[in-house]
Amino acid sequence: MEIRQLRYFLDIAETEHLTQSAQNLFVTQSTLSHGLRQLEAELDTSLFDRLGRGLKLSQAGAEFRVYATRALKEIEAGRMALADLSGLQSGRLTIGAIPTFLNTVLPATVAAFCEAYPKVQVEVRDLRAGPIEDQLMSGELDLGIAFHPTRDEEIETEPLFEERMMVVLRKTAPEAHGQHISLKQAAQLPMALLPRSFATRRMLDEKFRLAGVEPRVRVEMESVEALLGVCQHGSLATIVPERASLQMPDLYAMALTAPEVVRHAGLLWRRSASRSVAAREFAAMLRSVHLS
């Protein structure tokens, strides 16, 4: 089995079309077809169902895709380890981060990393916590940045910082006074919150339940920025992490208390995976900013 065959397979799995993949990989269609046939012969199974001119992953192909992706990531990690001998002069770093952190936690570190290692290509994916764990397990990500604890025991979490949850509303609202607001007081406000598919929302619901109250949720939106925008233009309040609340200085923010509600942010790694040099260096730079 050759590396090029795995690359052929993964690109075809993405495009589901030989012609498009041949263009992507800068090879002839016959070369691509031959490589795929060799791989299928070696595995003694069909990786694709042939549908007219197109291809669709078979059940076996879908299963093999996970391992092929992981194998190429491990090879890339090895290459990055060798690249370390010459000061990270090549390679690729793929990071998954929850939306809350894209505009608040990552930009400065991404910029500093790219300036220090201009020949390393960086991709940052906007993902929820669940997909970050999934893509770490499949080998698609080198590093994840999200709140923890995680759901999968195979994901190792390294604490990065704690962040208070803040109730945010218009400065003209009658409740906009003081630095803190209790869970019971917050439950009386009409709220715009993330849906229950988000870990943060589930955590908040549990905190309200333990306090013996239920929040008045009027609106659910899948974006913290959108929630803040709704509060800016209307009479609703929301609950967001502290760094996000600072993005809207024209809104009023109060820490949620009784008890204080805190989320823990961390670096996420797959336990059994090699950590590329680029990922370790990026993590070190991020720690230097948020743990100093």
Return the percentage of the chain with pLDDT > 70, whole number. Answer: 96
Better-predicted residue by pLDDT, 97 or 87: 97
Distance CA(166)–CA(178), nearest Å, equals 12
Taking only the tens place, the pLDDT of each residue in 116-144 is: 999 889 999 999 888 999 999 888 899 99
pLDDT at 258: 79
Residue 85 has pLDDT above 60, yes or no: no
Do the Cβ atoms of 232 and 248 come closer than 8 Å? yes
Distance CA(156)–CA(271), nearest Å, equals 6
Identical fold between 87-160+265-290 and 163-262? yes
Average pLDDT, the chain: 89
Taking only the tens place, the pLDDT of each residue in 173-191 is: 999 999 999 999 999 999 9
pLDDT band at 94 (very low <50, low <70, confident <90, very high): very high
Q: Which helix (H) or strand (E) holds 219?
A: strand 216-220
Residue 150 has pLDDT above 90, yes or no: no
Cα torsion for 40, 45, 49, 21, to the nearest 10°? -20
In terms of DSSP H, where are the helices of 84-195? 99-102, 107-116, 129-138, 183-186
Radius of gyration (Cα) for the chain, nearest Å?
A: 23
pTM of structure: 0.67
Q: Domain boundaries in the chain?
A: 3-57, 87-160+265-290, 163-262
CATH number belonging to the domain at 163-262, selected among 3.30.230.10, 3.30.2130.30, 3.40.190.290, 3.40.470.10: 3.40.190.290
pLDDT band at 86 (very low <50, low <70, confident <90, very high): low
- Is the Cα torsion angle 246, 247, 252, 254 positive or negative in sign? negative
pLDDT at 288: 87
What value does the mean pLDDT take over residues 25-45? 91
CATH superfamily of 87-160+265-290: Periplasmic binding protein-like II (3.40.190.10)
pLDDT band at 87 (very low <50, low <70, confident <90, very high): low
> What CATH class does 3-57 carry?
mainly alpha
